[in-house]
Amino acid sequence: MIAEGKKLRTELALITEWIKPNSHVLDLGCGDGTLLLHLKETRQTTGYGVEIDHHEIVQCIESGINVIQANLNHGLEDFKEDTFDYVIMTLALQAIERPDILLRDMLRIGREVIVTFPNFGHWAARMHLLAGRMPISRALPNEWYNTANIHLCSMKDFEHLCAQLDVKILQCAAVDTAHRSTPAMKRFPNLMGEVAVYRLQK
Amino acid sequence: MSKNFPADSVGVVKPTVQHFTDPLMLDCGRALAEYDLIYETYGKLNEQRSNAILICHALSGDHHAAGFHSEEDKKPGWWDSAIGPNKPIDTNQFFVVCLNNLGGCKGSTGPVSINPLTGKLYGPTFPIVTVRDWVESQARLADTLGISKWAAVIGGSLGGMQTLQWTLQYPERVSHALVIAAAPRLSAQNIAFNEVARQAILSDPEFYKGRYYEHNTVPRRGLMLARMIGHITYLSDEAMRAKFGRELKEGKLNFGFDEAEFQVESYLHYQGRSFVGRFDANTYLLMTKALDYFDPAREFNHDLVKTLANVQAKFMVISFTSDWRFSPERSREIVQALLRNRKSVNYAEINANQGHDAFLMPIPDYMAIFHAYMQQVAKEVNV
């Protein structure tokens, strides 16, 4: 999946803190395998990445990361129930055709799910909408007509979906695009957070 | 190396024949008391004997996978696109072995060999061999070459099935398995196409129940038809359209049945005719049976997950989007079973419109994946 904006290493650090050592991990939209490589080195994890882009797959192989070429919009039927300790998807949820169905599928195959997405409730996005335009920001750099982000949501929207799907939110953080968290983001995450990070369980 | 050959060619190569006298028990219950295997090698075996690669050939392939047989030879081996200096299977790094399988017609013991017990050609009496039998014979060749473990076993199509069989039969002897454009078993449709090909040969009046050699003839029409059917399944609809469309050979309709009128007919006739000159009909029958019978999961109650539970090799599975003979879904069955066993596996689905034949072609995306993976293999065996 195409994630707009740059994934920075600090985001990986945040997710890494949540991962228990020796876990079996699936990273959906794993890109060049940076996160999995980091987890493998720092948390001794095993697992696979799923990626659609040919060039990213070549890079995964070059890094020694196991990668499966697949389109996330076609579901996760190759994977069995409760196979993974964590199913991770960073900055891709908003580009999925049916995020609700994929989220349920992720929870089927993983004991825990970690997702990150650009928060559409961020104050800058709200300012753009108040001015009558679709938001363009560091987290959402493309125009409405050429963006891969077809299902944008705010943190409130996402939590509403979780409630509907009966999904438990274990942990949540709001960060900026450099994935730092400030006190303001902690107090008003849906207003101040540019990127939302959630840890979920069914 | 000759200046006539490209720099990334292995150049002139010479096959070797290895004679075996240990009887080989076959799946069919019969045994081969003695037999020959013809093979070629490219590159150098390192001191630790850790850089050996086995190439398994497909239906009509043989031991001549790369390079040329003489300075004048115009046509390189069948997988020259992937084997050679700086190619994905880099002969500067690896010692590559490719043999003609038992039942073949290119120098390994098969229907056109003399049966030592009768002093006559085997012909139709050559036993039906299976993929398991082939792997057994390949393992014996590995023994004679002093190779206890392959850095990688690599094969496309029927060659991919042998690769998969290696990981089941000798899990400790395969570090990496590259299974390309293959399937864990044939579908009913695959078997149906094979049966039409076989019937074409068997019903040719020149077949003489497989004893055509004694009548100084070959079932030319039957073998030609079999190859034509095969070729239709190797190409995609899209590739055929791009290659031939509805082009007419003479630019006009001839309102008759005598000649090939459309370019695609002409192509199939050519492929069929040239095959007759270089392939044996009894071998063709044997190879299609080996394909049909391959089904390692049969012993595991048709559960592929259980079948692959003990493999030790790391897998790279590759399929091609327009391959309808062994479609990507068939490769994904293998991948799925490996994932469920938590085995090391990579999977790439190459965007290609060439159909099944794509696995033999130097498609850039395919070569890039192949190259990247083989470099990982090289790193592991320290070459």
Annotated catalytic residue within B157, B175, B319, B331: B157
pLDDT at A9 over 90: no
B356 is catalytic: yes
d(CA A6, CA B271): 52
Is the pLDDT assigned to residue A6 strictly greater than 70? no
The partner residue sitting opposite A48, judged by closest CB among B316, B339, B369, is: B339
B175 tagged catalytic: no
- Quickly state the pLDDT bin for A128 (edges 50, 70, 90): very high
pLDDT higher than threshold 80 for residue B250: yes
Q: Model confidence at B11, in pLDDT bands (50, 70, 90)? A: very high
Q: What is the mean pLDDT of residues A141-150?
A: 91
One-letter amino acid of B137? S
Work out the percent of chain B whose per-residue pLDDT is above 70.
Answer: 99
Task: Please judge whether A69 and B345 are an interchain contact, meaning their C-beta atoms are less than 8 angstroms apart.
Answer: no
Share of chain B above pLDDT 90, in %: 97
* Interchain proximity B339–A79, CB inside 8 Å: yes
As a 3-state breakdown, chain A gives helix, strand, coil percent values, each rounded to 5, of 35, 25, 40
Give A68's contacts in chain B (Cβ within 8 Å): 335, 339, 345-347
Name the average pLDDT for chain A.
Answer: 91
Give the pLDDT mean for A99-116.
97
HEC string of chain B?
CCCCCCCCCCCECCCEEEEECCCEECCCCCEECCEEEEEEEECCCCCCCCCEEEEECCCCCCCCCCCECCCCCCCCCCCCCCEECCCCEECCCCEEEEECCCCCCCCCCCCCCEECCCCEECHHHCCCCCHHHHHHHHHHHHHHCCCCCECEEEEECHHHHHHHHHHHHCHHHECEEEEECCCCCCCHHHHHHHHHHHHHHHCCCCCHHHCHHHHCCCCHHHHHHHHHHHHHHHCCHHHHHHHCCCCECCCCCCCCCCCCCEHHHHHHHHHHHHHHHHCCHHHHHHHHHHHHHCCHHHHHCCCHHHHCCCCCCEEEEEEECCCCCCCHHHHHHHHHHHHHCCCCEEEEEECCCCHHHHHHCCCHHHHHHHHHHHHHHHHHCCC
pLDDT at A4: 42
Residue A159 to residue B101: CA distance in whole angstroms: 61
Q: Cβ of B373 under 8 Å from any chain A Cβ?
A: yes
% pLDDT > 90, chain A: 78
Q: What average pLDDT does this structure show over B325-329?
A: 97
A6-15, A55-64, A170-179, B3-12: which has the highest mean pLDDT? A55-64
Banded model confidence at residue B3, pLDDT cuts 50, 70, 90:
low
Q: What is the pLDDT of residues B137-190, one digit of tens each?
A: 999 999 999 999 999 999 999 999 999 999 999 999 999 999 999 999 999 999
**Superfamily of segment(s) A71-201:** Vaccinia Virus protein VP39 (3.40.50.150)
Q: Which residue of B has its CA nearest to A109?
A: B340
Contacts of A66 in chain B (CB under 8 A): 344-346
- What number is the average pLDDT over the span B299-327? 98
Is the pLDDT higher at A182 or at A96?
A96
What pLDDT is attached to residue B101? Answer: 98
pLDDT of residue B173: 98
Residue A57 DSSP class: H
| pLDDT on residue A172 | 92
Question: pLDDT value at position A187?
Answer: 87
In this prediction, residue B261 carries a pLDDT of 93
pTM for this prediction: 0.95
pLDDT > 60? residue A2? no
Q: How confident is the model at residue B383 (pLDDT cuts 50, 70, 90)?
A: low
pLDDT at B19: 98
Q: Which residue has the tokens 């992720």?
A: A106
pLDDT on residue A1: 38
**What does the pLDDT average to over B44-65?**
97
Single-letter code of the amino acid located at B54: L
Nearest to A61 among B335, B349, B372 (CB): B372
Residues in chain A: 202
Determine the residue of chain A that is closest to B333 in CA distance. A78
For residue B365, which residues of chain A lie inside 8 Å, CB to CB?
A: 54
What ipTM does the predicted assembly reach? 0.94
Q: Which of A37, A50, A57 to mutate to test the interface with B (most CBs of B within 10 A)?
A: A57
Domain spans, chain A: 71-201
Tell me if chain A has a CB within 8 Å of the CB of B148: no
Mean pLDDT (whole number) for B231-244:
94
Residue whose pair of structure tokens reads 């994977």 in the numeric block: A79
